[in-house]
Amino acid sequence: MNELGWNDWFRQRTTCGTAETVARVAAVDRDQLLLVDQNGPFRAKLSGRYLHLHHRAQEMPCVGDWVCLDKHPENGFGVVHALLERRTSLRRKTAGNVIDHQMIAANVDCVLIVQSCHFDFNLKRLERYLVMVLDGEADPVVLLTKTDLVEPSVLAAQIESIRTAGITAPIVTLSNVTRDGVDELRQLLSPGKTYCFVGSSGVGKSTLINHLVGHEEMETGIVSGTGEGRHTTVRRELIRLEGGALVIDNPGMREFGILGADYGIRSSYEEISALSSACRYRDCSHTGESGCAVLEAVHSGKIGREHLDHYLKLTRESEYHEMSYAEKRKKDREFGKHKQSVNKNQKKR
């Protein structure tokens, strides 16, 4: 099972019964799961008891999860009874107005944040992705694609802006057309480790994974004359490369809302977090208080004004959504108690 990412961390925390087996989630298809174990892929579903006890979206298995299950001896179909503790996670606020978490992937060792140098490069979006990667305690790598469509000076300026923003994550540049950088990326992918590719539609994630796999494992869209691809990946799926690394592709995501990511924000903006401890007021908002060490750093040029503004924006967004989420959970609990009370009264009749 080690070739699928299983290790001592999961072995020490497994809650599976003696008659149950362990498998990893390779894909989620509506009411069924595609699982994989040492014998290969097979289908499964969640047990009725599991569905009865778990209602939150983040309690449902996602790609990369490990689960405990019973396997039918004749047809090999599985019934999942438990979800193992996640070592790392990648999640975002559910798109739209719903205040809840959406799981992207679980038990990922490294997240490769893909941006195109040609049309998609966006420093603020990159910082947003980094917050959520670090909040889930995975390692980030920045992947700049389509380098064949920009001048070397443009690429150099983009890399410089990333470093100026205080981002220290490794940066890999490559082109799916010339294949420059593909070998460098392949060398970063270790056997038994799981890598998740995230980014906007059309930045070349699926095409890149095709190169890594060595054949057309995933459908990819036709690339237009502007260099912007038409993305066709419609589900997240765990794929094992010939070299032994495991990769997860994702449908394009332009909206990546921040919810309850205090740890990720502090990790992404370490210099601001460190300076905060020197502020005169413990609850300093870094917006105008006297004795604010962060604002002093901005005035001296040590920290960029735009960098601080984006930190404050993400912090406000995370706190706002967290308060809304707490209120939602409170209403859910109250509704649950009301439902139980109604059921009891009906039984008494």
For residue 272, give the H/E element and its range.
helix 270-276
Which CATH number does the domain housing residue 338 bear? 1.10.40.50
Per-residue pLDDT of the chain (349 residues; tens, 9 = 90+): 889 999 999 999 898 888 789 999 999 988 899 999 999 999 999 999 999 999 888 899 999 999 999 998 888 899 999 999 999 999 877 665 666 678 899 999 999 999 999 888 989 889 888 988 998 999 999 999 999 999 999 999 999 999 988 889 999 999 988 989 988 999 999 999 999 999 887 787 888 888 888 754 444 333 323 333 333 455 789 999 988 999 998 776 656 666 666 777 877 788 888 898 899 988 898 988 889 999 999 999 888 888 888 888 888 887 776 776 666 666 666 555 555 555 555 555 5
User: Would 115 be classed as within a structural domain?
Assistant: yes
Choose one of 207, 222, 249: the last residue of a domain.
249
CA-nearest of 293, 290, 258, 257 to 272 is 293
- pLDDT at 218 (0 to 100): 47
**CB 107 within 8 Å of CB 117:** no
Both 34 and 79 in a single domain?
yes
Q: Are residues 165 and 62 in the same domain?
A: no
**Domain end point (choices 23, 51, 83):** 83
CA-based nearest residue to 100, from 91, 109, 108: 91
Asked if residues 221 and 208 have their Cβ atoms less than 8 Å apart, the reply is no
Angle (nearest 5°) at CA 202 between 199 and 207? 90
Give just the sign of the alpha carbon dihedral 256, 158, 163, 279: negative
Q: pTM, whole model, 2 decimals?
A: 0.77
Query: Which residue has 């495991």 as its token pair?
Result: 246
Are residues 68 and 207 located together in one domain of the fold?
A: no
67 and 124 fall within a common domain: no
Which position has the token pair 């990369």?
Answer: 64
Sequence-distant (≥ 6) Cβ neighbours of residue 64 within 8 angstroms: 5, 24, 25, 105, 106, 107, 108, 194, 196, 238, 248
- Asked, for residue 295, whether it belongs to a domain, the answer is yes
Domain boundary among 43, 59, 83: 83
- Residues 313 and 223 occupy one common structural domain: no
Instruction: Please indicate, yes or no, whether residues 244 and 165 belong to a single structural domain of this protein.
Output: yes
**Same structural domain, 112 and 211:** yes
> What is the predicted pLDDT for the residue at 229?
37
- Residue 256 located in a structural domain: no
- Number of folded domains that form the chain: 3
> Measured between alpha carbons, how far is 96 from 133 in angstroms, rounded to an integer?
21
Residue-number span of the structural domain to which 154 is assigned: 89-249
For residues 191-205, one letter each, b for 16 or more C-beta atoms within 10 angstroms of the residue's C-beta and e for the rest, the string is: ebbbbbbbbbbbbbb
The domain spanning residue 69 has which CATH number? 2.40.50.140
Q: Is residue 198 part of a domain?
A: yes
**CATH number for the domain that contains residue 183:** 3.40.50.300
